[in-house]
Amino acid sequence: MKHPSYLLASLCLLSLSACTSVTIDEYQRAETNLASGDRIVLLGRRHSPDYETEPDLINCVGKVISANQSGISVIPEKQFVDELYPWFEPRMAPMRPKRLAHLVKKPQVREKIEELKLRYVIWIDGSTQQTGSAGSVGCAVGPGGGGCFGFGTWDDKSDYEAEVWDYQKQDLVAKVSADAKGTSYMPALVVPIPLLARVQSNACKGLGAQLREIFVPDSSANAGA
């Protein structure tokens, strides 16, 4: 069993852009074993009509995992959900590995999953939200022209957790979480100039790189790519 590991990175260019800090936390219970032809799928938790893990975040993490010739084949989320309809729709999707074990007892589900050569299911839960704001920017038009003046800031926070399930063993293999925080700025002197904190993007890169490391341990040299 691996001990939890922590990665803290600060991404900031004070004079040109906003600041973002990213914390990655990993806990791995067992080793992974991707054989030739095995594939993984990333799925976003969507418990109710008013809550979902953003599809673009899921796509982003998948691209990071399969980048740099990692050799990891990722099944697109939409393709997987469509082909396994309705078993992975929000109201029916397995929430725990034991529920997955029960689900794959259905011949039609098991056959489709084996046809897709699925080995690992990665569930990602979380969201990016604005947590606060200050200042203001006002715009006006007058006889001599118009413009915007003021200074505004707002804080964003991304909080995501990924669970890696082994399909063959129907068991939890690892957990990886990404916590990103950042402050965006909007100075305005005639023209507003947004300096955005790429909170979700940096959470995606950190989460994806750490998940890739679980499947391809020697990929750590390329984790920041």
Q: Give DSSP secondary structure letters for 50-99.
A: TB---HHHHHHHHHHHT-TT---EEE-HHHHHHHTTTTTSTTTS-SSHHH
Residue 68 near residue 87, CB atoms below 8 Å? no
- Tell me the C-alpha to C-alpha distance, in Å, between residue 196 and each of 183, 205, 224: 7, 17, 20
User: How far is Cα 4 from Cα 210, in angstroms, rounded to an integer?
Assistant: 12
pLDDT value of residue 8: 45
pLDDT tens per residue, range 124-156: 999 999 888 888 888 887 776 778 888 888 999
Q: Residue 70: inside a domain, yes or no?
A: yes
Average pLDDT, the chain: 86
Is 17 contained in some domain? no
pLDDT of res. 193: 82
**CA dist., res. 38 & res. 218, Å (int):** 18
* CATH assignment at residue 216: 3.40.50
Domain assignment of residue 10, yes or no: no
The lowest-confidence range among 10-19, 51-60, 187-196 is 10-19
Residue written as token pair 């001990």: 3
Cα separation of 214 and 175, whole Å? 10
* Cα–Cα nearest to 18, from 175, 151, 195, 178: 195
Most confident range (mean pLDDT) of 23-37, 47-61, 138-152, 208-222 is 23-37
Average pLDDT of the segment spanning 59-68:
94
Is the per-residue pLDDT at 164 higher than 90?
yes
Dist CA 57 CA 82 (whole Å): 19
Assess whether pLDDT exceeds 80 at residue 101.
yes
Q: Considering the domain boundaries, does residue 210 fall inside one?
A: yes
CB atoms within 10 A of CB 127: 16
Number of domains in the chain: 1
Does residue 50 or residue 76 have the better pLDDT?
Answer: 76
Residue 143 forms part of a structural domain: no
* Residue 4, domain member (yes or no): no
Q: How far apart are CA 195 and CA 37, in angstroms?
A: 43
Dihedral sign, Cα of residue 103, residue 127, residue 200, residue 1: negative
What the block records as the tokens of 168 is 């063959």
Output 15 or 2, whichever has higher pLDDT.
2
Q: pLDDT > 90: what percent of the chain?
A: 60
pLDDT at 11: 42
* Host domain of residue 104: 23-128+159-179+198-224
106-122 tens-digit pLDDT: 999 999 999 999 999 99
Range list of β-strands (E), 84-144: 118-142
Q: Which residues contact 75 (CB under 8 A, 6 or more apart)?
A: 39, 40, 41, 116, 118
Q: Which of 4, 51, 225, 210 is CA-nearest to residue 122?
A: 210
Q: What is the spatial distance between Cα 53 and Cα 115, in angstroms, rounded to a whole number?
A: 27
Residue 1 lies in a domain: no
Within a domain: 139: no
CA 212 to CA 171: how far, in whole Å?
A: 19
pLDDT for 82 beyond 70: yes
